[in-house]
């Protein structure tokens, strides 16, 4: 409605201090303010949070936001409070007293947005609390962030997310939103079906990240190659280095630090206090390089990450795209660099064969790996291949990936031929 639209813009200006909606945010906001459901597929950094935050402030009642990561929840709630939004969270880190206080505020209508961990919602007590809120002050919107976590075949499945399906439609007249940066058509179809959102407005934004330069190089001595990348192109820049094992994370971080890089490790095996301290150093200080397993980064909103480097091949194109997408959220030129070796592929095939999943799951993992290998081995434009993978084919080469910048003949054809001739 026109009235809804103008008050949405007013909220955008007054509360968030932004000039205008970006990309396709406005379409989503309009649909939800008018009471409709929405499925939102937008790349990392596009601004999915505002898509539910604005309708939550425009409509009557409290906005419920399901978000999988507790650390992330704290950051989002802090950021909202800083601009005067009454935001709270419900998760397992709270004491009974803190929880009781949030419940009281919810029932009194004193909360604009509440972030809830998915495991909280599988219990009956939070559900009945929310039923009382719906009947009292009201629920403005039910937003499921990182909605690809409902996909059992995806790269980031969380069993608690499956239980969210019964909440969709539970409260009369409350719009449901599912938001994710994972954009394959298969994931889109699966989350739509699982969350019963066939009738929603579906907004699928362009997945291109033109400021990211994609480069995939043959793996030789990955630590040295990485150091060269940092010294020659990213000295003093913030970056993320992904490795598959904790061991390799530790070794690489130590080695980089010995070679003058401000590098720190991050993986699930670290003491939680050290992990939290390392994450906040990366977020707060300039020019920190975090060496991490894929446990690091979902929802991290650091705008000036200048490079993301993979020293092991990712398990899927979805994972690769999400991880590299953490570079350059500020729109400035950034590098996505991957060292790819056949050794990794052999090892990953072995992991899949030895994993405990059923045959269908193994087939899916194997197909994911094959798609990733195809991206590594292509002699065509990497960005075109990525976009085509996400169902957004283009007929233009990008001019900003290694295969466009150094067409394959110059290194794959000529160099080996010269070597042959010179022996």
Please report, as ranges, the residues that interact with ligand ADP according to CB under 6 A.
Answer: 18, 21-22, 25, 42, 44-50, 301, 329
Return the number of the residue (117 or 253) whose C-beta is nearest ligand ADP. Answer: 117
Give the nearest residue (CB) to Mg ion: 48
Rounded to 5 degrees, what angle do the CA atoms 313, 315, 318 make? 110
Tell the smallest beta-carbon distance from residue 157 to ligand ADP (Å): 19
Residue 320 interacts with which of ligand ADP, Mg ion, none, CB < 5 to 8 Å by class = none
Give me 415's structure tokens: 């160099």
- CA distances in angstroms from 124 to 121, 127, 129, 313, listed in the order given: 7, 5, 9, 42
One-character DSSP codes across 340-352: E-HHHHHHHHHHH
Tell the smallest beta-carbon distance from residue 30 to ligand ADP (Å): 14
Contacts of 195 (CB under 8 A, 6+ apart): 144, 147, 150, 164, 165, 168, 176, 178
Tell the smallest beta-carbon distance from residue 182 to ligand ADP (Å): 12
Q: Kindly give the pairing relationship between strand 289-292 and strand 305-310.
A: unpaired
**Residues 34 to 93 in contact with Mg ion, rule: CB under 5 A:** 48
Burial of 288 (0-12, 13-18, 19+ CB in 10 A): buried
Tell the smallest beta-carbon distance from residue 232 to ligand ADP (Å): 29
User: How many other β-carbons are positioned within 10 Å of the β-carbon of residue 92?
Assistant: 9
**What is the distance between the alpha carbons of residues 42 and 46, in angstroms, rounded to a whole number?**
6
Tell the smallest beta-carbon distance from residue 148 to ligand ADP (Å): 12
Q: Name 267's bridge partners.
A: none
Tell the smallest beta-carbon distance from residue 93 to Mg ion (Å): 20
Tell the smallest beta-carbon distance from residue 397 to Mg ion (Å): 30
Rounded to 5 degrees, what angle do the CA atoms 299, 302, 304 make? 145
Return the number of the residue (25 or 348) whose C-beta is nearest ligand ADP. Answer: 25
Phi/psi for 270 (5° steps) reads: -75, 155
**What is the distance between the alpha carbons of residues 382 and 115, in angstroms, rounded to a whole number?**
37
DSSP character at residue 110:
-
User: How many other β-carbons are positioned within 10 Å of the β-carbon of residue 380?
Assistant: 14
Tell the smallest beta-carbon distance from residue 280 to ligand ADP (Å): 17
**What is the distance between the alpha carbons of residues 290 and 413, in angstroms, rounded to a whole number?**
36
Give the nearest residue (CB) to ligand ADP: 47
Q: Which residues bind Mg ion (CB under 5 A)?
A: 48
């Amino acid at each position: 409605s026109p009235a809804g639209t103008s008050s949405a813009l007013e909220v955008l200006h007054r509360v968030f201090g932004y000039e205008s909606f970006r990309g396709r945010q406005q379409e989503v906001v309009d649909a939800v303010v008018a009471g409709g459901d929405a499925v939102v597929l937008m790349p990392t950094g596009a601004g999915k949070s505002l898509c539910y935050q604005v309708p939550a402030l425009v409509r009557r009642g409290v906005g419920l936001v399901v978000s999988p990561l507790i650390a992330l929840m704290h950051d989002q709630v802090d950021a909202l409070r800083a601009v005067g939004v009454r935001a709270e969270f419900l998760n397992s880190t709270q004491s009974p007293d803190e929880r009781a206080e949030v419940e009281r505020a919810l029932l009194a209508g004193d909360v604009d947005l509440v972030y809830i961990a998915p495991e909280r919602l599988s219990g009956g007590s939070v559900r009945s609390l929310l039923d009382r809120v719906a009947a009292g002050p009201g629920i403005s919107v039910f937003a499921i962030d990182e909605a690809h976590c409902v996909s059992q075949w995806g790269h980031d499945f969380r069993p608690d997310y499956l239980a969210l399906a019964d909440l969709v439609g539970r409260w009369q007249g409350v719009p449901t939103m599912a938001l994710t940066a994972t954009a394959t058509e298969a994931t889109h179809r699966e989350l739509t079906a699982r969350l019963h959102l066939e009738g929603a407005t579906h907004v699928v934004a362009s997945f291109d990240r033109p400021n990211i330069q994609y480069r995939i190089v043959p793996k030789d001595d990955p630590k040295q190659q990485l150091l060269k990348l940092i010294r020659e192109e990213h000295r003093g820049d913030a970056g993320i280095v992904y490795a598959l094992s904790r061991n390799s994370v530790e070794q690489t971080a130590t080695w980089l630090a010995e070679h003058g890089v401000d590098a720190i490790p991050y993986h699930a095996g670290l003491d939680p206090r050290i992990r939290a301290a390392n994450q906040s150093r990366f977020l707060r200080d300039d020019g920190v390089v975090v060496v991490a397993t894929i446990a690091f980064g979902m929802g991290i909103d650091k705008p000036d990450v200048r490079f993301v480097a993979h020293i092991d091949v990712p398990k899927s194109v979805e994972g690769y795209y999400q991880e590299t997408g953490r570079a350059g959220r500020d729109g400035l030129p950034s590098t996505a660099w991957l060292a790819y070796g056949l050794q990794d592929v052999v090892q990953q095939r072995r992991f899949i064969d030895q994993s405990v999943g059923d045959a269908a799951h193994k087939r899916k993992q194997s197909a994911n790996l094959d798609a990733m290998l195809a991206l590594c081995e292509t002699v065509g434009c990497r960005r075109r291949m990525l976009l085509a993978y996400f169902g957004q084919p283009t007929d233009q080469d990008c001019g900003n990936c290694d295969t466009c910048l150094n067409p394959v003949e110059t290194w794959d054809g000529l160099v080996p031929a010269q070597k042959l001739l010179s022996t």
